[in-house]
Amino acid sequence: MSTNLFFVSLLIALVGPVIAITYLKPILYKVLRMLCDADGGAEFWIRCAYLLAVSGTLLLMLSFGEFNERNSVIDTVRRSLWLVLAGVFVTVAVISRNVWMQVRQWLAAKELAAHVQSARIDKPAVSAGPSAAARPA
């Protein structure tokens, strides 16, 4: 096993997902702030995203990486990039799916509230009983 190839692969596995989540962080923070009213909720989920992405790619690298000295550096880097991109893709897909499900529920609740509000406004006033003109004297 080549120590240099091993550490280069681990470095790629660490840097790749950090770049991806850092790229998503500003918009993910806004969406999570909209969905999480708890103080610190958005920060918690972003930190979870970092941990999931990094640990997932490290697990892939340690399980399927090629660090043998008989492999060329280019082959090792190519395999490392492939594993890291696969890990980042799966992580972002899982995060996006879960966030989208929450956004859909939030939008449905907002639409329902708007519908109920407009139904209350459009509803005619109910009279308390027969009018004075209709009552016998």
The contacts of residue 83 (CB under 8 Å, 6+ apart) are: 13, 57, 60, 61, 64, 65
Cα–Cα distance for residue pair 61/55, rounded to 1 Å? 10
Q: Which of 21, 14, 23 is nearest to 45 (CA)?
A: 21
Task: Tell me what pLDDT residue 25 has.
Answer: 92
Q: Which two tokens stand for residue 97?
A: 């799916």
Phi-psi region of 106 (alpha: psi -120 to 50; beta: other; left: phi over 0): alpha
Q: Which two tokens stand for residue 88?
A: 């980042």
Task: Tell me what pLDDT residue 100 has.
Answer: 85
Long-range contacts (CB closer than 8 Å, 24 or more residues apart) made by 22-29: 24/49, 24/92, 24/95, 28/95, 28/99
Task: Tell me what pLDDT residue 123 has.
Answer: 65
Q: In Å, what is the CA distance from 64 to each residue of 32, 87, 134?
A: 33, 12, 88
- Cα distance between the two ends of the chain: 107
The one-digit pLDDT tens for each residue of the chain (137 residues) are: 788 888 888 999 999 999 999 999 999 888 888 887 777 888 888 898 899 889 989 998 989 888 888 888 888 889 999 999 998 899 889 888 988 888 888 888 888 888 888 777 766 555 555 555 555 55
pTM of the full structure: 0.67
Q: At what angle do helices 3-35 and 41-64 cross, to 10 degrees?
A: 150
Q: At what angle do helices 73-122 and 41-64 cross, to 10 degrees?
A: 150
